[in-house]
């Protein structure tokens, strides 16, 4: 178990987490639509899920879900336009992590996304990202933003020990 | 992502190491396989034991590579899937599409 500095002593991160978890804490990052930024978001996601003591597999799938969402926002939402931003907001609560990913694109209708499980789509090289997000997260919502763009909201609960 | 190519008989084994994600990782896989096909090397094994991360674009690249090799009259085998790659393929019903092995000798014998 990793430890962090609290006062002048090293203490377990679970202790630090219990100390802070009476409130909701947010971490918001706004990035340009550059794919190289995916690794920055990955590191941040992995740090938060590690801090919250998600098990290794769950942390991996949360990280992948966030990566897929941000990839979609950069590539399909903002069309790789470096002047358009992607806003990623992590909300850390005692029993869950919620992540919102907002782009500045034209938006899309989630109902029109074909299932990658259909026989006709099995061998298509793309179209699995949203399916994976829905598989690995406990709750996923797609919202059209009034100012334009899309928001993907996803949430994962901590398994009770 | 780094790929080292070994030759066993008339089979090319690609030992992949690193991440197969959108961008560099997927491009390296694609280019390596296309170069082999250009040289008329059509029996290919992708050894994924050391692939520590893959995203949906990486899975898509495996599908695309499989289709390209098959359409060229060749055969592509996936060797040593990690637990996470196996799970990603299983939930998208792709495990039954690929030729998958966890023993190199058995994979070689299957050509």
Report ipTM (2 d.p.): 0.92
Q: Which residues of B touch A64 (CB under 8 A)?
A: 55
Mean pLDDT, rounded, for A38-47 = 95
Does the pLDDT of residue A97 top 50, yes or no? yes
Contact pairs from chain A to chain B, CB under 8 Å? 52
Q: Which of B14, B93, B26 is nearest to B53 (CA)?
A: B26
Mean of the per-residue pLDDT values of chain A: 89
Question: B99 by DSSP, 3-state: which?
Answer: strand
pLDDT interval class at A111 (50, 70, 90): confident
Least confident of A12-16, A111-115, B36-40: A12-16
CA distance A64 to A51: 17
Question: In whole angstroms, what separates CA A78 from the centre of its chain?
Answer: 17
Q: Which residues of B touch A125 (CB under 8 A)?
A: 60-61, 63-64, 67
Does the pLDDT of residue A2 top 60, yes or no? no
- Asked whether the beta carbons of residue A132 and residue B88 sit closer than 8 angstroms, the reply is yes
Å between A134 CA and nearest CA of chain B: 11
CA distance B37 to B43: 9
CA distance A50 to A2: 9
Contact A127, A144 (CB under 8 A): no
Does the pLDDT of residue A6 top 50, yes or no? no
Among A60, A68, A122, select the one facing B56 at the smallest CB separation: A68
Q: State the pLDDT at residue A108.
A: 84
Q: State the pLDDT at residue A8.
A: 45
pLDDT interval class at A16 (50, 70, 90): low
Give the CATH number of domain B2-109: 3.30.750.24
Q: State the pLDDT at residue A4.
A: 46
Mean pLDDT, rounded, for A148-158 = 96
Q: Which residues of A touch B84 (CB under 8 A)?
A: 57, 60
Q: Which residues of A touch B55 (CB under 8 A)?
A: 64, 67-68, 71, 129
Question: Quick count: other Cβ atoms within 10 Å of Cβ B85?
Answer: 22
Q: Which residues of B touch A68 (CB under 8 A)?
A: 55-56
Domain boundaries, chain B: 2-109
Does the pLDDT of residue A18 top 80, yes or no? no
Q: Is B110 on the interface with A (CB under 8 A)?
A: no
Å between B82 CA and nearest CA of chain A: 13
pLDDT digits 0-9 by tens, B43-60? 999 999 999 999 999 999
Q: State the pLDDT at residue A161.
A: 62
Q: Is A135 on the interface with B (CB under 8 A)?
A: yes
């Amino acid at each position: 178990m990793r430890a962090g500095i609290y006062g002048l002593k090293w203490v377990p991160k679970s202790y630090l987490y219990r100390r802070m978890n009476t409130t909701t804490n947010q971490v918001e990052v706004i990035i340009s639509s550059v794919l190289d930024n995916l690794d920055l978001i990955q590191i941040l996601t992995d740090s938060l899920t590690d801090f919250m003591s998600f098990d290794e597999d769950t942390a991996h799938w949360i990280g992948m879900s966030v990566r897929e969402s941000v990839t979609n926002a950069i590539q399909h939402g903002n069309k790789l336009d470096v002047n358009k931003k992607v806003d990623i907001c992590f909300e850390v609560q005692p029993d869950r992590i919620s992540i919102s990913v907002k782009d500045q694109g034209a938006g899309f209708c989630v109902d029109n996304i074909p299932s990658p499980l259909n026989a006709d789509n099995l061998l298509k090289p793309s179209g699995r990202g949203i399916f994976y997000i829905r598989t690995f997260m406990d709750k996923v919502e797609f919202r059209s933003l009034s100012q334009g763009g899309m928001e993907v909201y996803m949430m994962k609960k901590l398994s009770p020990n | 992502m780094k790929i080292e190519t070994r030759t066993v008989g008339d089979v090319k084994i690609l030992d992949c190491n690193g991440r197969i994600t959108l961008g560099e990782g997927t491009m390296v896989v694609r280019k390596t396989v296309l170069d082999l096909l250009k040289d008329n090397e059509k029996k290919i094994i992708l050894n994924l034991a050391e692939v520590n991360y893959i995203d949906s674009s990486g899975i898509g690249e495996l599908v695309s590579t499989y289709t390209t090799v098959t359409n060229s009259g060749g055969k592509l085998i996936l060797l040593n899937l990690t637990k996470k790659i196996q799970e990603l393929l299983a939930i998208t019903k792709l495990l039954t599409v690929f030729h998958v092995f966890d023993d190199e000798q058995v994979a070689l014998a299957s050509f």
